[in-house]
Amino acid sequence: MEKLRLKVQLACAALFNIGFVQWHSVCFPVLNCHSCPISLFSCPIGVIGKFAEVGLVPLSVIGLMALAGLVAGRLLCGWACPFGFLQELLYKIPFPKFTMPSWTRFIKYGVFVALVLLVPIFLSTASQLYFCRLCPVATIESAIPWAIISGTTNPVSLSIRLAILFGIVMAAMAHRRFFCKVICPLGACLSLMNRFAAIFPERNTDCIECGTCGKVCPMGAGREKDGFGAYDEKAEECISCLECRKKCPTGAIQLWGG
């Protein structure tokens, strides 16, 4: 399953940046910047911010995100998001590792409300505080390529973006999926649907309550004694990577939810 996930992640990273086709009328619920010269879909976070600036709600985008969340939850983060994939590769680099306190997972909801909604509404998407102007994905896929192609007119802004990207890369090397857990506003939106998702890892009656699944979870989703899958502690963080399924001694975990 791990190899399958790797293949899907590689295929999605290639598909979303296929180069010769652009379909920016459609948002795909992964963090992939639409300012990238070779991006296929538009980024839902970027579109929500732009709509917020003109006082509108993008119903089709929110509907699509909600639908994706209800069907698969954060499975898209674990299987399709190119930046999540990049962070997993970064974490494999030998580097001092650290753990994060559990409360830091709430920061991403604040990031969504403050930097994706409030900054465009009350300031502007031209503000340096707007999420897309700080987003590491936009820096990799847009700011750096555009600076190479046509130069930059704002070296201060580019320097800030590069500094943030550097910080997040270092953090991702030290803590698995740091950005997904702590900062990602799209992850925050999808995690709201995670407990209701149709596709979600569940334990069946073979479970012997050994607690291995909780210990190996890369997203830090715990396991309550009498809980079951979606009702587990921090289940909203689960990205369905199925690390727990691999390590389960009785094979009690299945992806298709009950």
Length of the chain equals 258
Site for other proteins in 128-187 (CB under 8 A): 146, 149-150
- Strands (E) located in the chain: 199-203, 253-256
Q: Contact at 8 Å (CB) between 134 and 46?
A: no
Choosing from 11, 56, 121, 208, the residue that interacts with other proteins (CB under 8 A) is 56
Q: What is the DSSP letter of 224?
A: -
Query: What is the C-alpha to C-alpha distance for residues 81 and 9, in angstroms, rounded to an integer?
Result: 7
Asked if 58 touches other proteins (CB under 8 A), the answer is yes
- Of 186, 194, 183, the C-alpha closest to 238 is 194
Choosing from 15, 64, 117, 174, the residue that interacts with other proteins (CB under 8 A) is 64
Based on CB atoms, which residue is closest to other proteins, 40 or 90? 40
Choosing from 6, 8, 70, 164, the residue that interacts with other proteins (CB under 8 A) is 70
Binding mask 96-125 for other proteins (x = CB under 8 A): -----------------------------x
Q: Which stretch binds other proteins (CB under 8 A): 12-20, 25-33, 86-94, 99-107?
A: 25-33
Name the token pair of 109: 């909801």
Based on CB atoms, which residue is closest to other proteins, 154 or 250? 154
Based on CB atoms, which residue is closest to other proteins, 147 or 162? 147
Q: Phi and psi (nearest 5°) for 97?
A: -100, 150
